[in-house]
Amino acid sequence: MSDYKAVIIGGSAGSFQVVTRIVSSLPANYPLSVILCLHRLKHIRSGFVEALSIKAAMPIVEPIDKEPIKTGKIYLAPANYHLYVELGNKFALSTEDAVNHSRPSIDLSFFSAAYNFKKKLVGIVLSGANKDGALGLKSVKENGGLTIVQDPNECQVPTMTLACMNATNVDHVYSTQRIIDFLLTLD
Amino acid sequence: MVTNEDVLRFIATIRMSSTYDFTDYSDRSFKRRIEKLLVDNHLDINQLSLKVSKDKDFLEKVVRDITVNTTELFRDPEMWTTLKYQILPKLKKNKSIFIWHAGCSSGQEIYSMLILLNELGMFEQAKVFASDINSDMLETAKNGQYKYRFNLGYFDNFDKVIKENPFNYEEPIVVDYEKYFDIDKVKDTITMKQFLREKAVYRKHDLVKDGNIFYSKFDIIFCRNVIIYFNNKLQNKVIELFSNSLYRDGHLILGAHESILGSVANNFDKTKGFYKKKQF
| Residue A144, pLDDT above cutoff 90 | yes
Q: What is the pLDDT of residue A47?
A: 78
* Percent above pLDDT 70 for chain B: 100
Residues B105 and B200 occupy one common structural domain: yes
User: What is d(CA B99, CA A9) in angstroms, rounded to the nearest whole number?
Assistant: 42
Residues B138 and B226 occupy one common structural domain: yes
| Residue A44, pLDDT above cutoff 90 | no
Tens of pLDDT, residue by residue over B86-106, are 999 999 999 999 999 999 999
Residue B204 belongs to some domain of the structure: yes
Residues B214 and B266 occupy one common structural domain: yes
Domain's final residue, options B16, B31, B66: B66
Tens of pLDDT, residue by residue over B181-195, are 999 999 999 999 999
Tens of pLDDT, residue by residue over A9-33, are 999 999 999 999 999 999 999 999 9
Domain's final residue, options B66, B93, B115: B66
What is the nearest CA distance from A47 to chain B, expressed in angstroms? 14
Q: What is the pLDDT of residue B243?
A: 96
Q: Is A96 on the interface with B (CB under 8 A)?
A: yes
User: What is d(CA B76, CA A90) in angstroms, rounded to the nearest whole number?
Assistant: 24
Residue A139 falls in the annotated catalytic set: no
Which residues of chain B make contact with A114, given a CB cutoff of 8 A?
Answer: none
User: What is d(CA B150, CA B177) in angstroms, rounded to the nearest whole number?
Assistant: 16
Could you tell me the pLDDT band of residue B70, with boundaries at 50, 70 and 90?
A: confident
Q: How many Cβ atoms sit within 10 Å of the Cβ of residue B93?
A: 7
User: What is d(CA A85, CA A68) in angstroms, rounded to the nearest whole number?
Assistant: 10
Residue A47 belongs to some domain of the structure: yes
Answer yes or no: are the C-beta atoms of A149 and A137 closer than 8 Å.
yes
DSSP per-residue letters across B108-151:
HHHHHHHHHHHHTT-TTTEEEEEEES-HHHHHHHHHTEEEHHHH
Which residues of chain B make contact with A69, given a CB cutoff of 8 A?
Answer: none
Residue A151 falls in the annotated catalytic set: no
Domain's final residue, options B40, B66, B92: B66
Q: Is the Cβ pair B68, A82 closer than 8 Å?
A: no
| Secondary-structure breakdown of chain A: helix, strand, coil percentages, each rounded to the nearest 5 | 35, 25, 45
Phi, psi of B275 (to 5 degrees): -105, 115
Residues B59 and B87 occupy one common structural domain: no
Q: Is B67 left (phi over 0), alpha (psi -120 to 50) or beta?
A: beta
Alpha-carbon dihedral angle through residues B84, B86, B89, B95, given to the nearest 10 degrees: -100
Q: How many Cβ atoms sit within 10 Å of the Cβ of residue B55?
A: 13
| Residue A43, pLDDT above cutoff 70 | no
Residues B105 and B228 occupy one common structural domain: yes
Q: Is the peptide bond before A31 cis (omega within 30 degrees of 0)?
A: no
Could you tell me the pLDDT band of residue A45, with boundaries at 50, 70 and 90?
A: low
Residue B260 belongs to some domain of the structure: yes
| Residue A176, pLDDT above cutoff 70 | yes
Residues B55 and B86 occupy one common structural domain: no
Residues B60 and B197 occupy one common structural domain: no
Least confident of A82-86, B43-47, B164-168: B164-168
Catalytic, out of A15, A102, A132, A139? A132
Residue A172 belongs to some domain of the structure: yes
Which residues of chain B make contact with A94, given a CB cutoff of 8 A?
Answer: 26, 28-29, 68, 228-229
Q: Is A142 on the interface with B (CB under 8 A)?
A: no
Q: What is the CATH number of the domain that holds A21?
A: 3.40.50.180
User: What is d(CA B117, CA B120) in angstroms, rounded to the nearest whole number?
Assistant: 5
Which residue spans within chain B are E strands per DSSP? 97-102, 126-132, 145-147, 181-184, 189-192, 201-204, 218-223, 246-254, 268-271, 274-277
Residue B184 belongs to some domain of the structure: no
How do beta strands A90-94 and A121-125 pair?
unpaired
Which residues of chain A make contact with B229, given a CB cutoff of 8 A?
Answer: 94
Q: What is the pLDDT of residue B170?
A: 84
User: What is d(CA B29, CA B87) in angstroms, rounded to the nearest whole number?
Assistant: 33
Residue B88 belongs to some domain of the structure: yes
- The predicted model gives B203-228 an average pLDDT of 96
Residue A1 belongs to some domain of the structure: no
**What's the domain count of chain B?**
2
Residue A14 belongs to some domain of the structure: yes
Q: Is the Cβ pair A78, B257 closer than 8 Å?
A: yes
| Residue A175, pLDDT above cutoff 60 | yes
User: What is d(CA A152, CA A159) in angstroms, rounded to the nearest whole number?
Assistant: 8
Q: Is B157 on the interface with A (CB under 8 A)?
A: no
Residue A120 belongs to some domain of the structure: yes
What is the nearest CA distance from B29 to chain A, expressed in angstroms? 7
Q: Is the Cβ pair A92, B259 closer than 8 Å?
A: no
Tens of pLDDT, residue by residue over B139-179, are 999 999 999 887 777 888 999 999 998 888 888 899 999 99
**What's the domain count of chain A?**
1
Q: Is B68 on the interface with A (CB under 8 A)?
A: yes
Could you tell me the pLDDT band of residue A101, with boundaries at 50, 70 and 90?
A: confident
| Residue B223, pLDDT above cutoff 60 | yes
Residues ≥6 apart with Cβ < 8 Å to B195: none
Q: Is A69 on the interface with B (CB under 8 A)?
A: no
What is the nearest CA distance from B272 to chain A, expressed in angstroms? 14
Residue B259 belongs to some domain of the structure: yes
User: What is d(CA A49, CA A39) in angstroms, rounded to the nearest whole number?
Assistant: 13
Q: Is B164 on the interface with A (CB under 8 A)?
A: no
State the residue range of the domain holding A115: 6-185
Residue B173 belongs to some domain of the structure: no
Q: Is the Cβ pair B29, A85 closer than 8 Å?
A: no
Residue A159 belongs to some domain of the structure: yes
Residues B99 and B202 occupy one common structural domain: yes
Residues ≥6 apart with Cβ < 8 Å to B118: B180, B196
Which residue spans within chain A are E strands per DSSP? 6-11, 33-38, 60-61, 74-76, 82-86, 90-94, 121-125, 146-150, 172-174
Which residues of chain A make contact with B228, given a CB cutoff of 8 A?
Answer: 65, 92-95
| Residue A1, pLDDT above cutoff 60 | no
Residue A109 falls in the annotated catalytic set: no
Tens of pLDDT, residue by residue over B132-146, are 999 999 999 999 999
Residues B198 and B222 occupy one common structural domain: yes
Q: What is the pLDDT of residue B152?
A: 76
Q: Is the Cβ pair B70, A81 closer than 8 Å?
A: no
Residues B38 and B101 occupy one common structural domain: no
User: What is d(CA A135, CA B75) in angstroms, rounded to the nearest whole number?
Assistant: 31
Which residues of chain A make contact with B232, given a CB cutoff of 8 A?
Answer: 66
Q: Is A86 on the interface with B (CB under 8 A)?
A: yes
Q: Is A81 on the interface with B (CB under 8 A)?
A: yes
State the residue range of the domain holding B206: 77-144+193-277
Q: What is the CATH number of the domain that holds B198?
A: 3.40.50.150
B28, B33, B225: residue with CB nearest A112: B28
- The predicted model gives B202-209 an average pLDDT of 96
Phi, psi of B203 (to 5 degrees): -140, 140
Q: Give me the interface pTM, i.e. the ipTM.
A: 0.86
Q: Is A43 on the interface with B (CB under 8 A)?
A: no
Q: Is the Cβ pair A66, B257 closer than 8 Å?
A: no
Q: What is the pLDDT of residue A133?
A: 96
* Percent above pLDDT 90 for chain A: 86
Residue B176 belongs to some domain of the structure: no
Average pLDDT, chain B: 93
Tens of pLDDT, residue by residue over B229-255, are 999 999 999 999 999 999 999 999 999
Residues B56 and B81 occupy one common structural domain: no
User: What is d(CA B242, CA B252) in angstroms, rounded to the nearest whole number?
Assistant: 7
